[in-house]
Chain A
Amino acid sequence: MFERFTKEARVVVERAREEALDAGSPSIEAEHLLLALARRGSPALLEVGLDHASCLEALDDELTRSLAVAGVGWDAPVRSRATLNSPRFGASSKLALERALRVAVERGDRRLDARHVLLGVLRAELGTVPRALEGAGIDRAALAASV
């Protein structure tokens, strides 16, 4: 699947693996792609005030809100990656990368770069990323249009 990816897009995907490990996650999810994009400083994300720290904060806020729905409170984020194997791609990141490929095809782009990955992530209407962005007051459609 990665043969059409530019070097930059491959770096983002590899960085997403690190983000998953940092989150103590056994799988790479769409939010880890978002964090990886923010880590390298995506102009479109920065335009709406989303750097790596604010993405993490938005995702933690979404986690806190959704845990509260289940009647669970949590304070300090527990972060540990010392025992984790290299995470595999989870369903949400696979979907995001498939959508990124679709965006590239729709635009007639031969290569898939970091912007396509961002658009693939932003196409999700359900799940952690759209909920986190909504909670942070980000207009996902407007953000996608600016990429």
Chain B
Amino acid sequence: MKEIKYLILKEISLEWKTKYAFNGLLLYVISTIFVCFLSFKQIIDPPTWNALFWIIMLFASVNAIAKSFLTENRGRLLYYYTLTSAEAVIVSKTIYNVLLLLVLSLINLLFYSIFIGNFIQDLPMFITGMLLGCMGFASIMTLISAIASKAGGNSTLMAILSFPILIPLLITIIRFTKNAMDGLDWSVNYKFLVILIALNMLTVALSYLLFPYLWRE
């Protein structure tokens, strides 16, 4: 447990020192939203708003998490291998990515609302959906990033590997947040909520079990 905590702190402090990746992502999100604003001017159709929000989120997350394993050089990875257990590495990276995506999604929502308008009627439900969605994205893509890094470190490969797996998750998330935007009651969304939570638990468990096999060189 302590290993995980220290690894997370290490990741956060590394990032905080340079803020390189974070600034890059921020710029990416803001530029994308600005381009959308210039093309759409104003979106009055809630489904379109929702879909576009999640598309921007999807691409930003792929970029964000690609750096997770792909930019680590071999020497450092070998160092971790001698110090910590494989499970600790994957869990800490997943948690760090979840936090990163959360911050990213909140910023995304903020700028999206400023530029393109805000149709959300049930904000807590929307934020819950966003939270679960980010957790899902992060957990799936962290493991895929680990796989892609072993297969040559190509970020295109990571995108290709993750998109098909993310499609059904994306469908569920979009449904969930659409219902949140319409202001529907929580009971309508229960089944999606259950799916999202179950999916998150499943992917984290799978990552935990499968990563040690990847870790061995």
- The answer to whether A binds B is no
Chain B residues with CB under 8 Å of chain A are none
Q: Which of A's residues lie within 8 Å of B, judged by CB?
A: none
